Every structure is written in C-alpha cells, then in structure tokens.
C-alpha cells in the first residue's frame, strides 16, 4: 500500500478521470520530492557539447523524400496560458503581428505546407485550460479536419501543499488545486487510451513536436529525411545561445550521453556556468522529432511513462495572489527525454527556427519590424539583423501584456537596426521612433512619458 499522501493524490486524480500513465508519472515525481538534491545536475557532473551536425550540412548532402510526409504528423504544444504575462486564456490566441494570433499563423503554415508540399497530419496538445478556447478558434478552419482528430488533451495533476506535502485545498477556486504537469506529459498523453497505437496504425511513424509560440518551427523535409535515415529514436533541434537565452535549458553530455539541463536543475553555486553561453553553447529550441515505434517500446519498458527528471516549481496556489499558500508544481520537460535514449541525436539549426514569445520583451520584438511574417506563416528575422534578434530588456512596468499594450498604443517602434534596447520606468512608444545600435531609456518618475520621435542610435535617453 502506498504511503497515505500518495494514496490521497491517486484518489483525487482517479476521481477527476486522470489517466493511469499520468498518475504513475506523478507518483514517480512525488517520490523524488523529499530529496532536495533530486533532479539537480551540478556542473562537475557534465561536459559541454563542442560540436554537432548542422541543418545546413544536412540540407547540402541529401535528397529530401516527400513520401515521408505521409508517415509524419506535426504536433503543436498548446497548453500554456501565459499567466506570467497576465493572460487568462490560451497563449496561442494572443495577437502577435498585424492582428494575427499564434494559432492563425500556425494554421497558415499547415495549410501552406499541404498546398505546396503534400499531406501533413496536424495535431495539438491542449490543456484543460486551453481546450475550449482553442477548439472555438479552430472552428473557422474546417479544412483542418475534425477537431476530435486534431486534439490531444494534456493531463492535469494536483498541486502539492508545501507545508504538508498533501494535495492542496483551495476553496475559493477549486480549479487552482490543479496544474499542467509540464510538456514532458506528452509521452503519457501518447500512451493514454491507445493514442500511440492508433497513430502507428494510421501509418504515422514520425512526429515533429514544437511549442505553439514558436513560429519558426515548421516541418523541414530535409531534416525529416535525415532523421528517418538515421534510425535514431529521438532528435533535438538546438541553436546557438545568445544573451537572451542565458536562462534557458542547454544541451550537455554526461558519460557520453546527451542530457538537457534546465535552470531549475542547476545548483545556485553553478548558475554562472549555466549562464555562460561560451561554455554551454547550444540552447534547446524544444523542436523535437520522435520515432513512434521506438517511443512505444520505451514506454512499454517503463510502465507507460518515461523516467524524466523532476522539475520542482515553487508557486502560490493562486498565481495572481502572492499571499495564497505556497505549492509545488511537479513538472517534467519534454526535451529531457533525450537522456532516455542512448542513441538520441541533436542537430544545430539556424535561429530562424526559434522565434518564441516567453515575455513581453519577446512580444515587443516579434511585433516590431525586426520580424517579417512570410506568406507561409513563418516568422523570420529581417536580413539586417543577420540571424541575431535584438536583446530587449523591459522592467516590471511591462511584465503584463496589458501594460505593454498601453505603452504601444501609439505604435510599435522600429527595432530592425537595434542590437539592444533596455527600458527602465514607464514610457510611451511611437511608431515613428527608430532604435539603432544599443539604446537605454530611463524614466525615473511613476508617470508614463513619451519617447521622442525620430532616430535614436547608441544613446542613453533620460526622459
């Protein structure tokens, strides 16, 4: 008989209809919770990755095989609400460029690919918080197919009360007692209700997975062909780290085996090394390729859920109430599965395949002229930036999307010639303002002040 807290969690999850693979994955994570060192990956235990095959090399040395498209699905992870930016619905429904949302652009990508290259199966993994909004938004695209055939539903897991290590109880809103278990839940979702078997029965052997907020992540036929010919079960796309990526997970090796280290897994004493982009040079884009027959075998060997390392996230039960009780959200990272396959591989890809929006600073950059939205729906850096996006730092005055919207009411400034923009204090941007080089703007007052129009190059603006 499991210990009492575990039994409480199982009872709660079973009553809510959570799948058995997801329950077992939660129990594995919970068993690690008491070990404070669990999931920590010190610098002394790993080695940097010095070099990798590149997409440019792959594209130059093989002939793409369009027939593989019939055996391939594209899966967008669409479970995020963007609560860190103050959103309360699916992040993919946020307008990002010219009034188009992430989801609009993703659909444009899929339909363009089907028209120009061949059939491609499309899937989304929604969470219990994003399913209804997403299905409603996709209703205007009936050509995509039956919504039931498109959607995979992410599991939900209980938040853990920090003081008692039992399921948290929050009478004000019982929905806040639950959280998504991280995108590492993908594997348990695929193992649920025969989903993986159905995909294989339909002839789907390969799945390309990426985040819905990464508009650069489209199916690349050369990379699909290389992956299929390699025989590898798992492929991670990585790209060169820039200062903007210092806090993101990086690729490393341990005993010759690839692994992914996230910031939550790095001891505080090693954080300088973690953020050293000249030492750990490759950043996980979360663009992953899976070979489904090998994944099915790995899941069968591990009781339906891959043994991914725990990420213990400390939050408050109500994310909008910092005085509400502290909880642990037990999560796993999808990319951490690279460590579950000894013959997994990684490929270095250009920055154009990684254009996510994690903060309002990212959103400002994407809405600016630093990016173009191409006819195929992809977001691409303009040539002037030579593959490196502007480094934008916005202070707490712009943490939430509505705060950024207020600052951009008069238009989005030009950033296509900008290397770095740092903003301290509340300001009002204008469409006729051009930033070039490195620009710092400071307003020491609590009242928003307008940025002067015109060109500002390599300067410090004190408003």
Q: How far is CA 244 from the centre of its chain?
A: 15
Determine whether 358 is an active site residue. Answer: yes
The answer to whether 207 and 293 are in contact (CB under 8 A) is no
The two three-digit tokens of residue 135, written as one number: 């299905």
**φ and ψ at residue 382, rounded to 5 degrees:** -70, 155
Q: ∠ CA(50), CA(54), CA(55), 5° rounding?
A: 160
382, 429, 430, 431, 434 from 454: Cα distances, Å = 21, 11, 9, 10, 6
The answer to whether 177 and 159 are in contact (CB under 8 A) is yes
- 3-class secondary structure per residue, 36-73: CCCCCCCHHHCECCCCCCEHHHHHHHCCCCHHHHHHEE
Residue from 76, 91, 159, 358 carrying the catalytic annotation: 358
Q: How far is CA 202 from the centre of its chain?
A: 27
**φ and ψ at residue 297, rounded to 5 degrees:** -65, -40
The two three-digit tokens of residue 251, written as one number: 């690729």
Q: Please report which helix (H) or strand (E) contains residue 298, including its range.
A: helix 292-301
138, 152, 209 from 127: Cα distances, Å = 15, 9, 16
Report the number of secondary-structure helices (H) and strands (E) in the chain: 13, 24
340 burial type by CB count under 10 A (0-12 exposed, 13-18 middle, 19+ buried) = buried
For the chain, the residue count is: 463
SS3 198: helix
* Nearest to 437, CA basis, from 426, 453, 422, 452: 422
C-alpha span between 70 and 363 (Å, rounded): 35
For tokens 């055939």, the residue is 149
C-alpha span between 317 and 168 (Å, rounded): 8
Interhelix angle 102-116/131-138, nearest 10 degrees: 50
By DSSP bridging, strand 100-101 and strand 250-254 are: unpaired
Gyration radius of the chain over CA positions: 22
Q: ∠ CA(379), CA(384), CA(389), 5° rounding?
A: 55
Residues with active-site annotation: 358
């Amino acid at each position: 008989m499991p210990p009492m807290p575990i039994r409480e969690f199982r009872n709660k999850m079973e009553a809510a209809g959570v799948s058995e693979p997801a329950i077992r994955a939660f129990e594995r994570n919970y068993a690690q919770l008491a070990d404070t060192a669990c999931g920590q990956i010190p610098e002394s235990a790993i080695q940097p990755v010095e070099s990798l095959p590149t997409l440019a090399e792959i594209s130059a040395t093989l002939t793409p095989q369009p027939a593989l498209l019939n055996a391939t699905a594209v899966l967008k992870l669409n479970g995020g609400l963007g609560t860190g930016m103050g959103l309360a619905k699916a992040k993919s429904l946020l307008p990002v460029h010219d009034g188009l949302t992430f989801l609009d652009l993703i659909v444009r990508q899929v339909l363009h690919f089907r028209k120009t290259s061949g059939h491609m199966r499309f899937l989304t993994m929604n969470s219990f918080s994003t399913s209804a909004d997403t299905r409603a938004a996709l209703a205007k695209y009936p050509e995509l197919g039956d919504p039931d055939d498109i959607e995979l539903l992410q599991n939900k897991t209980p938040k853990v009360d920090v003081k008692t290590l039992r399921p948290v109880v929050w009478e004000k809103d019982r929905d806040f007692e639950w959280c998504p278990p991280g995108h590492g839940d993908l594997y348990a979702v695929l193992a649920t209700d025969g989903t993986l078997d159905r995909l294989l029965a339909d002839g789907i052997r390969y799945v390309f997975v990426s985040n819905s907020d990464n508009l650069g992540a489209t199916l690349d036929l050369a990379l699909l062909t290389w992956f299929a010919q390699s025989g590898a079960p798992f492929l991670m796309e990585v790209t060169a780290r820039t200062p903007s990526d210092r806090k993101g997970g990086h690729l490393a090796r341990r005993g010759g085996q690839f692994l992914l280290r996230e910031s939550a897994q790095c001891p505080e004493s090693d954080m300088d090394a973690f953020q050293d982009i000249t030492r750990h040079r490759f950043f996980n884009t979360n663009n992953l390729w899976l070979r489904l027959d090998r994944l099915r075998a790995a899941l069968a060997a591990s009781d339906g859920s891959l043994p991914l390392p725990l990420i213990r996230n400390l939050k408050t039960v109500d994310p909008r109430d910092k005085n509400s009780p502290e909880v642990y959200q037990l999560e796993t990272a999808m990319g951490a599965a690279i460590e579950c396959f000894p013959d997994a591989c990684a490929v270095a890809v250009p920055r154009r395949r990684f254009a996510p929006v994690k903060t309002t600073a990212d959103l400002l950059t994407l809405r600016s002229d630093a990016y173009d939205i191409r006819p195929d729906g992809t977001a691409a850096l303009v040539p002037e930036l030579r593959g490196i996006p502007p480094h934008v730092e916005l202070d707490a005055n712009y943490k939430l999307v509505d705060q950024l919207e207020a600052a951009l009411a008069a238009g989005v400034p030009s950033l296509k010639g900008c290397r770095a923009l740092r903003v301290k204090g509340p300001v009002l941007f204008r469409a006729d303002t051009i930033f070039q080089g490195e620009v710092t703007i400071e307003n020491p007052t609590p009242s928003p002040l307008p940025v002067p129009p015109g060109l500002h190059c390599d300067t410090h603006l004190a408003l």
